[in-house]
Amino acid sequence: MTSKLKLLSASSGFGLMLAFASPAYAQNTDANTLITNNVTVNYQVGGVAQTPIAAQDNFRVDRKILFSVAEKTATGTTTVTSGQQDQITAFTIVNSSNDTLDFSLAATNTANGTTIGGGRGTDNIDVANFEYAIDTNGNGILDGAEAFVGSLTLNDILKGGTVHVLVRSDIPVSANGSVAVVQLAATALNSNGTAITAVTDATANTADTTSGTFQTIFAEDLTPLQGNASRNGVSWAWDDYTVSAPVLSVAKTSRIISDGVSVTNPKAVPGAVVEYCISVANGAGGATATSVAISDLVPVNTTYVAGSIRVNATVTTPGPTQTCSGGTAVTDAADADAGEFGTPTANTAYGDLTNIAASTANAMIFRVTLN
């Protein structure tokens, strides 16, 4: 889907005044303006005034292509979750040229290792499915009649005009702290959508006062943080996504509950009851893990103890030395509670845990008898 949106002058409607800054005409003379200068010389001969003589010089104002693309002020990194779709970054395009221009937009992934700086992370993942929208009220979100399209050309942007643009994409499944740096590039075009032909410093100045022709130069800033290396009618800026994902670890331990003989230290002999604990811990700084579901195939040479599944058990020091206690008992049937046994896979214990926030843990417990 392609969209080429016609953006009219601010005088054509109040709504568009919200999208564009007032043009700075006083300091940005229009390209092709004819500058005329007349001089008059008065003189006398023998004290008698003579007919004044005059001369005139004319030149036309050439076109200066000067514009910028910038990450929207104060937006910063966009925090997303692993695998999240339709996530938005925000940019502004400012036309500081002395002519009305079109701009074609293109978003891309930057190279691995790219960093915006300022304490933000380094690119190590790529996003997908770029789409674009004009943010008519400049609030950084999609609302009102705004809509995303697959490609976008901005038409008839007045000199001094500012356009706010949203770019959205899909985040891959990735680890906590992963960063995707994206680039939005704008290419300046003539107001009829054709490519601009510019001259270089080596081209002679060819003033033409009669036919209305003028010359064009590219004048983009070569010094911004993500700036161009050459003046070529293309400018860009970077924004980034930072993934906030759970930092999960799982541990499974067992303890002998009874062996039918021993009183204080039961042994793993046939007939002993063994309790398993499966803990899921979320590390510091991880996003909350939701819909945590455990499935555990009961090992061979053991028999599941009916009705022994408990979910959301308390776990201390998750890992090889963990201790687990409590929890909510569930039935073995495939019903509305948070656990079952044997469904959908035979001889398998299932349990659903509540959300696990950063720096917390949760556990599922069940028991077997040693054959």
pLDDT tens digits, one per residue of 125-142: 999 999 999 999 999 899
Task: Report pLDDT for 81.
Answer: 92
- What pTM did the predictor assign? 0.77
The domain that holds 328 is classified in CATH as 2.60.40
In the predicted model, what is the mean pLDDT of residues 97-118? 94
Nearest 5°: CA angle at 276, between 273 and 280? 170
Same domain, 304 and 278: yes
Alpha-carbon distance values, 188 to 46, 134, 145, 146, 163 (Å) = 62, 17, 26, 23, 14
In sequence order, what are the residues at sequence separation of 6 or more whose Cβ sits closer than 8 angstroms to the Cβ of residue 197? 216
138-142, 212-216, 357-361: range with highest mean pLDDT:
357-361
Answer yes or no: is pLDDT of 285 > 90. Answer: no
Domain boundary among 243, 258, 283: 243
In the predicted model, what is the mean pLDDT of residues 284-293? 93
- Rounded Cα gap, residues 102 and 189, in angstroms: 5
Point out the least confidently predicted range of 6-15, 36-45, 335-344. 6-15
Same domain, 224 and 295: no
Same domain, 78 and 223: yes
- Rounded Cα gap, residues 329 and 93, in angstroms: 59
Alpha-carbon distance values, 246 to 59, 88, 228 (Å) = 66, 21, 38
Same domain, 67 and 193: yes
Same domain, 81 and 223: yes
- Rounded Cα gap, residues 167 and 133, in angstroms: 7
- Does residue 57 lie in a domain region? no
Q: What is the CB neighbour count within 10 angstroms for residue 84?
A: 16
Same domain, 252 and 237: no
Domain boundary among 211, 243, 275: 243
Round the average pLDDT of the chain to a whole number and report it: 89
- Does residue 35 lie in a domain region? no
Task: Report pLDDT for 12.
Answer: 32
Domain boundary among 243, 262, 282: 243
Q: What is the CB neighbour count within 10 angstroms for residue 302?
A: 17
Domain of residue 306, residue span: 248-370
What's the N-to-C CA distance of the chain in angstroms? Answer: 64
Task: Report pLDDT for 205.
Answer: 77
Q: What is the CB neighbour count within 10 angstroms for residue 189?
A: 19
- Rounded Cα gap, residues 334 and 309, in angstroms: 13
For 220, phi and psi rounded to 5 degrees? -65, 150
Report the number of distinct structural domains present in the chain. Answer: 2
Task: Report pLDDT for 94.
Answer: 95
Confidence of residue 206 (pLDDT cuts 50, 70, 90): confident
Q: What is the CB neighbour count within 10 angstroms for residue 135?
A: 23
Point out the least confidently predicted range of 116-120, 191-195, 220-224. 220-224
Same domain, 228 and 264: no
- Does residue 276 lie in a domain region? yes
> CA 52: distance to chain centroid?
69
| pLDDT tens column, 66-84 | 999 999 876 679 999 999 9
- Does residue 11 lie in a domain region? yes
- Does residue 72 lie in a domain region? yes
- Does residue 355 lie in a domain region? yes
Answer yes or no: is pLDDT of 279 > 80. Answer: yes
Closest-CA residue to 136 (of 171, 177, 90): 90
